[in-house]
Structure 1
Amino acid sequence: MSNLHHRQNSGPSDHARSVPQAPSTASYITFEAGQFAGRTIRVELTELQKAESGRKQVDRRPLDPPPAVQLRLFEPPDGAGQWERELLYENVLNVGLMCTVDLFPVPEDMYGASSPASLASPRSPPYPSPPYIDALQSSGYAPMRSPLTYYPLHPYTSLDASGSGQVEGSLSPFDIPRRQPMLGYLHHTDRPSDTVHQVGNHLITESSKLTPALVGERFTEPTLVDYQGRKALIFVFGDLAVRREGVFILRYRAFDIYSNVPDSPHKPVLSELYGGPFKVYSTREFPGLEPSTELTRTLSKYGVRVTLRDAERKSKKRGKGPGGAASDDE
């Protein structure tokens, strides 16, 4: 059954959605088996809450606040309409719907950006320019745009059989670098072949993926909750930590393990989303934890396992505890 509140196919804001636009059929998927068999649906992920900080996984502290992603399902307009129809989520079976996460490093200066828009627009990096940029500028042939940055294939990463990607699980806990790798610089015409996303002037490459550094639940089912006056399906990663320090983003991918699509033996990625940046600190540098967000509190009422805090908890500096042992608190 479809939602009576029809949604325009595209638009960055509520204001933009008031103007009908033609649907983009490229993002629709037709299912041949499962709960959506015979239906054509577009799947959308929205990051409702990104992690802000975490502690390196020595004391097994999850990211805070817990990352939360909304799953939305739309059917295309009928023959005479210009509006998508959003499904009623109380009629959607959440069994088989899954969301997984991957971890990617990003430059340190991306943490603390004021808004997603500031991340999306090209920015001049605050770090020194590489030598070839300085040479071009001194010769009067300065580039029109700032150079692109990326993380080259680091020495801890293995190549797959084709020599073009990372073997999942190839990093052991002892091989994961403790801190951020060195940035590489590129001309805008020299993008790596495995580029999967761009944030400002920084390229996210599949070979820079550090998913083995994640600890805890890397996949989860959605929970049906009341959100902004309507039912919603939300994936929550309440038990996810990172083994190393640095600034990262998560890549979310949605699947339906019980639904099949024509001419494909594999379960397709129904939707993909790159989240906002967060920082993982050493225990000594960890600044403390903020009070739980309203969304986190709401999710806990529906049985989602999350940690609740009523007040800010500052990190105490490591010192000598009883018997001379080092100790710290949140």
Structure 2
Amino acid sequence: MNNQPIYGAIPPTQTGAYVPADPNSLAPQNGTRDGKRFKLVVEQQPVRARMCGFGDKDRRPITPPPCIRLIVEDMSTGKETPFEEVDSTFFVLTVDLWSSDARQEVNLVRASSGAPTVSISTSTLTSYPPHIERGWQDPGPYSLMNQRGGYSTAPPGYAMNPAPHMPHQMPAYHQAYPGASPITAPQMPQYPGQYGAPPPGHPSYQVAPQAMPVMPPTAPATSSATGMFTRNLIGSLSVNAFRLNDTTGKMGFWFVLQDLSVRTEGVFRLKMNFVDVGKHMGNGNNLNTGKAPVLASCFSDAFQVYSAKKFPGVIESTPLSKCFAGQGIKIPIRKDGPKPANAAEYEADDQ
């Protein structure tokens, strides 16, 4: 029985093996606005992680935590703009999972029928395969929408508009490569004995009698590759900028990705996209609830995700991680080594 997951609609070449990337594909993209140029630099690269599987609560963070520095340059002088002259209130970084050759996004994974049962989570799981009647949509700029009092960003190719026949709070996710289809929840199946049609303007859900429970629809079994789609990269997929001092004491804008886990083993890269969701109008920097362009993007180095049996262990805490942890960033820091229970007594005797 095949227990291997199937990646999206286009499986990556030799899943689990490193595939070199074209240097042109890895080139960072730098954007400009209001006389300033924005750059992303991955100062601390991811190295390895243990796969976290398909459970909702199991987290195995990538180590060391990727740390990305945002550089804002004055286009007229070519020099870095002092951080105190830049308003970072609405600076946001989003992250996606890509194949090691940087050719395709692998944010979604589909577990085969022989894989362990995937527990349903509204925040991480899409339990329906994509509709075949909908075509691929151009990702375009990020679409930003106010949901439940918070603000969320959707990476390129992930539309945040409400899906038809679904409550407006649920976004429809779109795969970000041509030929893919949006992943939305289809209508409930029709059964005899259902009640009358709903009033105009209301979702067309039907109520089935108790003798015939409503079951979630399933995709036609066109091949052995059937299963449920879920996110492969989980955790904090968008983070705000922090003003932090690096190991040399230099202040700057930093994005720390200390809460990222990957469900399946393989070799991957992270793609980071930076957006500023402020309006920059009037006296204040108000939130932009429409669309915001991607001002900068970059790829990380390739990193390995291991199975539980092959995982060699987490990376030792780096000086940069310790530096940021000392400034209040929640980064797990490994101690130099275990101490015996009576170590404090011996240390007191030495004084």
* TM-score normalized with structure 1 length: 0.51
Match of 1:212 among 231, 234, 238: 231
User: Separation in 2 of the partners of 1:97 and 1:64?
Assistant: 24
Matching of residues 16-27 of structure 1 within 5 Å: none
Matched, 1:98 2:83: no
Matched, 1:163 2:182: no
Aligned to 2:201: none
Considering fraction of residues, name the structure with more helix: 1
Aligned to 1:54: 49
* TM-score normalized with structure 2 length: 0.49
Cα pair distance change 1:57/1:160, threshold 3 Å: farther
Match of 2:254 among 234, 254, 270: 234
Cα pair distance change 1:87/1:60, threshold 3 Å: same
Match of 1:251 among 271, 290, 293: 271
Aligned to 1:70: 69
Question: Deviation digits for residues 207-259 of structure 1, max 9, x if unmatched?
Answer: xxx99211110111121122234211110011111111111000000011113
Matched, 1:286 2:311: yes
CA apart distance, 1:165 = 7.3
Q: Is the 8 A contact 2:50 2:306 kept in 1?
A: yes
Aligned to 2:300: 275
For residue 96 of structure 1, what is the amino acid of its counterpart?
F
Q: Is the 8 A contact 2:61 2:259 kept in 1?
A: yes
User: Separation in 1 of the partners of 2:329 and 2:230?
Assistant: 23
CA apart distance, 1:89 = 1.1
User: Separation in 1 of the partners of 2:109 and 2:328?
Assistant: 42
CA apart distance, 1:291 = 1.6
Cα pair distance change 1:155/1:298, threshold 3 Å: closer
Q: Is the 8 A contact 2:236 2:259 kept in 1?
A: yes
Match of 2:320 among 282, 289, 295: 295
Which runs of no fewer than 5 residues in structure 1 stay unpaired?
1-25, 31-38, 78-82, 108-118, 120-148, 170-191, 195-209, 314-330
Q: Is the 8 A contact 1:90 1:231 kept in 2?
A: no
CA apart distance, 1:285 = 1.1
Q: Is the 8 A contact 2:269 2:301 kept in 1?
A: yes
Q: Is the 8 A contact 1:288 1:312 kept in 2?
A: no
Aligned to 1:309: 334
CA apart distance, 1:312 = 8.0
Cα pair distance change 1:245/1:165, threshold 3 Å: farther
User: Separation in 2 of the partners of 1:283 and 1:155?
Assistant: 19
Q: Is the 8 A contact 1:63 1:240 kept in 2?
A: yes
Q: Is the 8 A contact 1:98 1:221 kept in 2?
A: yes
Which runs of no fewer than 5 residues in structure 2 stay unpaired?
1-28, 111-128, 140-156, 160-176, 180-228, 282-289, 339-351
Cα pair distance change 1:281/1:311, threshold 3 Å: farther
Matching of residues 101-140 of structure 1 within 5 Å: 101-106=95-100
User: Separation in 2 of the partners of 1:244 and 1:44?
Assistant: 31
For residue 100 of structure 2, what is the amino acid of its counterpart?
V
Cα pair distance change 1:89/1:212, threshold 3 Å: same
For residue 136 of structure 2, what is the amino acid of its counterpart?
G
Cα pair distance change 1:303/1:229, threshold 3 Å: closer
For residue 240 of structure 1, what is the amino acid of its counterpart?
L
Secondary structure class of the residue paired with 2:309:
coil
Question: Deviation digits for residues 39-97 of structure 1, max 9, x if unmatched?
Answer: 321110000011111111143111110011000101211xxxxx313111134333210
The RMSD of aligned alpha carbons is: 3.7
Secondary structure class of the residue paired with 2:333:
coil
Cα pair distance change 1:239/1:150, threshold 3 Å: closer
Question: Deviation digits for residues 14-57 of structure 1, max 9, x if unmatched?
Answer: xxxxxxxxxxxx95533xxxxxxxx3211100000111111111
Match of 2:32 among 5, 20, 29: 29
Aligned to 2:204: none
Q: Is the 8 A contact 2:49 2:61 kept in 1?
A: yes
User: Separation in 1 of the partners of 2:74 and 2:295?
Assistant: 14
Secondary structure class of the residue paired with 2:264:
coil
User: Separation in 1 of the partners of 2:293 and 2:310?
Assistant: 41
For residue 291 of structure 2, what is the amino acid of its counterpart?
H
Cα pair distance change 1:260/1:292, threshold 3 Å: same
For residue 162 of structure 1, what is the amino acid of its counterpart?
G
Q: Is the 8 A contact 2:35 2:75 kept in 1?
A: yes
Aligned to 2:81: 87
Q: How many residues align?
A: 197
